[in-house]
Chains A and B, each alone.
Chain A
Amino acid sequence: MSSRAHMPKKDPQKRTNTPTQPPPQRSRAALGLTAAAAEGRFMLQVCPECRAVQYPPRDACVDCLDTALQWQDITPTGQLLADTTVRTSTNLYFRERGDWRVGTVELDAGPKIVCHLAQDCSAPERVTLLARLDRSGQGVLVAQPENSKTRLADDPQLKALTSDPRHARVLVTDLRNANTPALVEHLLAAGAETVFVGESEAWRKDPQRDALAAIPGVEIMPLDVTDTNSVRQLAAEIGGKIEILINNGRFLRPARLPSGGDTVFAAQEMDVNYLGLLRLAQGFGPALASRTADGQRQALAWVNILSIFALNPVPGFDTFAASQAAARSLSLSMRATYQSSGLRVMNVYVGATEDVWHQPVHPPKQSPRALARDLVAGLQDGLEDVVSGDTARDLMERFREHPGVFEREVTFGEWGV
């Protein structure tokens, strides 16, 4: 674990800044860049007919007028031709932040791109572009010197493109989840100042508890996501003191329709996985969304760990998949709600995980450690969509390729129990 620097305490007499945002308007075509940036991918439109790479995003190929442009990963290197420092802007977000570095890059793939510049970048030089999300939730492009080792989080201008957990206070909602120790360890290693861990039904002691409680920087707090009052109480206590919330609560009982004669487990799955998220959103959402411009302590991100089965049910997890689909839907609504505040909602999709409930599922299964690594890396890159592990990536790819085919191959197929 690295040494953890503490931030100075906030002066309670000072006004908390109202969050402002960079210009959010985009055309429908430009949302392709945003969707790619949400995964940290540098993608541009390519013409299927003449292979011309397009930018800015278009509805027709600039070379041959083909209208079937496709988003593809593009080699992100180019030459920085010119740079400037914008010192006056009529947009409040940039006004508040002062001098702003911008440049023009000629991409090796052809297009000319106006983009944010890392502080150590100046024309002329070779650069690498990154696609990231800004605080209006839209995709933007950033140039860094080629082979730069500087992290965006260390760049005062570009820090807002990340949700870097360094110096942050984080709430991990469920102490009982098998992935909690790994999450805590990775968050602290990434420089998180405090990790609050929610514990339900404290009388029912969890075997992970003592080890977690012994870690400096970890504070165990009472939190039962199935109890509105419990969520409210903790939100009142620490809602204004956390910058990142990671919802890792999960209730899972394998079930294949038709099974059993009641809905007890299905109801519990909905109560934890869907309603639990809803209660958390009601309790913690407003506090986080109002603190995205709070000086050095800016609320950064809300993280939901979702099963990839949220996209499509897998036989044997029928009711669980339904609760995950509900949670995913709610999560997307949260993203829309918080977009104007600048609070990022990051969904981390996982396949079968290494735990007792996935015991009958064939490997590969995602280890808690790998999940924690991908989640923290996602925060550091400011992502909104993280697909963690080979299984989840494989399923996501198939889903995107053809949802109709995906449904049949999964529901008729071999993934289930």
Chain B
Amino acid sequence: MILHLNGAKQSDAPIEMETCRAMRQRQKYDGVALVAPYTEPYARYSSHTAHWWIARALRGCLQTAGLNKNALDGFCASSFSLAPDTAVGLTQHLGLCLRWLDHIPMGGASAIVALRRAARAVQAGDAEIIACVAGDTNHTDSFRKLLSGFSRFASDAAYPYGFGGPNMSFALLTDHYMKTYGATRADFGKICVAQRDNALHAPGALMTKPLTLEQYLNARMISDPIALFDCVMPCAGAEAFLVMTTDRAVKMGLPFARISGLIERHNAHTDDPIQFRGGWTMDVDELYAMAEATPEQIDLLQSYDDYPVISMMQMEDLGFCAKGEGPAFVRRHDLTIDGSFPHNTSGGQISGGQAGAAGGYLGLVEAIRQVTHTAGSTQVKGAKRAMVSGFGMINYDRGLCTGAAILEAGDI
């Protein structure tokens, strides 16, 4: 028993934080199936609500699986434009009777976190079939309004300085990354041009014209060194998938993906003066160990691409190359669907559009398609193992939420 006397410390020898962190490994995500990846085609602007978009995606996802919504007993939602509702309001709005419900406000990390929680719920028997959905609408003034109420630290300490939103925050860390590691705009341009090439194969991508490196380099500056084609286009859209047991997926005859590894981390590396890496680095070894795989065995990467510097950072932090070697790695590889390192095969957000929280789902939904060989015109030949990564929430000066998963094809 610990006595508190006159403000005495709880313990003279506090347990070291590192000891706590290293105590136990994450358990595997065996027996969990991801099925019915569904994308509700995006629109630049929409007069509909987030509720409408989420309903469309849920319906499309259930139809893909051949299920009635009454079969669901778990539901997880992510959205920036659902206010004043949360997932709770959606249960009544959409007529869902559930025994497991979650709402994940983690932006670009929402899908990985939703998947992790849903997988654990299915493993533990807390739910049988869970729908994970993210969707947002985009009215003509939505983006400005979203920025205005984003976070307390952003209101206090970021927006008063030019009100540049995420463009400004990422410009600062891109500037620092370029100066530190010698990345050039052409390196980032290569990522964007390859994604545009991929988007031309993706039926739903908002960007439908080819992009050349020259066009990328000559585009107008938005917040130096970030130029027009480094930025995503805010849009309306929704994405969804189902989580269930592999047994059920097999019984239903549904193509499914398995989780061979998954990590989640928030607010890592707080001592870094400016962000040059994400929380992935703390857990990436465990990710590969759990998946019993190496980076060389990953057939494609769906990185979170709100800006190309973040994709480059993920290539480093997820072990495809060492810190600072991102530029050389990109120069060395062809990042298109048929290339040596297929990356953001559906065009990512940079060429597909950023549908709010659905932007966090885009890569995961595409990865399920890829490993189940249902990606159609964006299919990477022989894709067996995909890495999906999430990154979310510039609360002040850096993204706080990170996560990544390795998905593999399930055997039907």
Using CB atoms and an 8 Å cutoff, list the residues of chain A in contact with chain B.
22-23, 25-27, 29-30, 55-57, 62, 79, 81-91, 93-94, 100-104, 106, 112-116, 123-124, 134, 136, 138, 140
Q: Is the CB of A56 within 8 A of B160?
A: no
Q: Is B85 an interface position by the 8 A CB rule? A: no
Q: For the complex, give the distance between the alpha carbons of A310 and B397 in Å.
A: 42
Nearest CB on A from B118, distance (A):
32
> Chain B contact residues (Cβ within 8 angstroms of A): what range?
35 or more
Instruction: Decide: B221 and A85 in contact? CB cutoff 8 A.
Output: yes
18 A-B pairs within 8 Å (CB atoms) are namely A23-B148, A25-B159, A26-B156, A56-B156, A62-B270, A82-B172, A84-B175, A86-B164, A89-B165, A91-B159, A94-B163, A100-B164, A101-B162, A102-B162, A103-B172, A112-B273, A114-B169, A123-B176
CB < 8 Å neighbour of B156 from A30, A104, A115: A30
Contact of B155 among A25, A82, A91, A94 (CB under 8 A): A25
Task: Say whether B155 contacts A89, CB under 8 Å.
Answer: no
User: Could you tell me the distance between the alpha carbons of A109 and B273 in the complex, rounded to whole angstroms?
Assistant: 12
State which residues 210-225 of B face A: CB under 8 Å.
220-225
B-to-A contact residues, CB < 8 Å: 143-144, 147-148, 152-153, 155-165, 167-169, 171-173, 175-176, 179, 220-226, 270, 273-274, 396-397
Kindly list chain A residues whose C-beta atoms are within 8 Å of the C-beta of B273.
Answer: 79, 81, 104, 106, 112
The answer to whether A90 and B163 have CB atoms under 8 Å apart is yes
Q: Are the CB atoms of B161 and A87 closer together than 8 Å?
A: no
The answer to whether A56 touches B163, judged by C-beta atoms less than 8 angstroms apart, is no
The distance in angstroms between the C-alpha atoms of A354 and B402, with both chains bound, is 65
A90 with B175, Cβ < 8 A, contacts A81-B273, A138-B160 known: no
A340 CB to nearest B CB, Å: 15
Q: Which residues of B contact A23 (CB under 8 A)?
A: 148, 155, 159-160, 163
Closest Cβ of chain A: how far from B155's Cβ, in Å?
A: 5
Residue in chain B with minimal CB distance to A49: B7
Q: Are B171 and A90 in contact (CB under 8 A)?
A: no
Contact status of A112 and B274, CB under 8 A, knowing A56-B396, A100-B162, A140-B161: yes
A57 to B396, CA, bound (A): 11
Contacts of A90 in B (CB 8 A): 143-144, 147, 163, 165
Judging by beta carbons under 8 Å apart, are B161 and A115 in contact? yes
Chain A residues lying within 8 Å of B159, measured Cβ to Cβ, are: 23, 25, 91
Of the listed residues A23, A25, A102, A114, the one surrounded by the most CB atoms of chain B closer than 10 A to its CB is A114
Q: Decide: A86 near B396, CB < 8 A? Known: A104-B176, A124-B179.
A: no
Partner of A91, one of B156, B157, B163, B226: B163
By the criterion CB–CB under 8 Å, are B176 and A22 in contact? no
Inter-chain contact B157/A55, CB cutoff 8 Å: yes
A25-B148, A102-B172, A114-B172 given as contacts; is B162 within 8 A of A89 (CB)? Answer: yes
Q: Is B176 touching A82 in the complex (CB atoms < 8 A)?
A: yes
- Would B223 and A85 count as touching, CB distance under 8 A? yes
Q: Which residues of the partner chain B approach A84 to less than 8 Å between Cβ atoms?
A: 164, 168, 171-172, 175, 223-226
Task: Tell me if B274 and A86 are in contact (CB < 8 A).
Answer: no
- CB-CB under 8 A from B397, the residues of chain A are 104, 112, 114
Residues of B close to A81: CB separation below 8 A: 176, 273-274
Q: Which residues of A contact B222 (CB under 8 A)?
A: 87-88
Given pairs A89-B163, A104-B274, A136-B160, 12 additional interface contacts (CB within 8 A): A22-B160, A23-B148, A23-B159, A25-B155, A30-B156, A86-B162, A86-B168, A90-B143, A100-B161, A112-B274, A114-B172, A123-B179
By the criterion CB–CB under 8 Å, are A82 and B274 in contact?
yes
Which A residues lie within 8 Å of B172 (CB)? 82-84, 102-104, 114
Q: Which residues of B sit under 8 angstroms from A124, Cβ to Cβ?
A: 179
- Tell me the smallest distance from the CB of B84 to a CB of chain A, in Å: 19
Given the interface pairs A112-B397, A134-B160, the reply to whether A82 lies near B224 with Cβ below 8 Å is no
Give the CA-CA distance A138 to B226 in the complex, in Å. 28
A247 to B7, CA, bound (A): 52
CA distance A153 to B4 in the complex (A): 55
- Residue of chain B at shortest CB distance from A25: B155
In angstroms, Cα B270 to Cα A37, docked, is 27
Q: Which chain B positions have C-beta within 8 A of A93?
A: 163
Whether B155 pairs with A87 at a CB distance below 8 angstroms is no
- A357 to B160: give the CA distance in the assembly, Å: 46
Give complex CA distance A165, B157 in Å.
Answer: 29
Which chain A residues lie closer than 8 Å to B224 at the CB level? 84-85, 87
In the complex, the chain A residue whose C-beta lies closest to that of B228 is: A88
Interface centre among A56, A124, A134, A138 (most CB of B within 10 A): A56
Q: Which residues of B contact A62 (CB under 8 A)?
A: 270
> Out of A86, A101, A106, A113, which one reaches B167, CB within 8 Å?
A86
A361-B163 Cα distance, complex, nearest whole Å = 51
Shortest beta-carbon distance from B252 to chain A in Å: 46
Cβ of B159 to closest chain A Cβ, rounded Å: 5
User: A23-B148, A87-B223, A114-B397 in contact; A82/B175 too (CB < 8 A)?
Assistant: yes
Neighbouring A residues of B176 by C-beta, 8 Å: 81-82, 104, 123
A81 to B397, CA, bound (A): 13
Closest residue of B by beta carbon distance from A55: B157
Q: Which residue of A lies closest to B227 (CB)?
A: A87
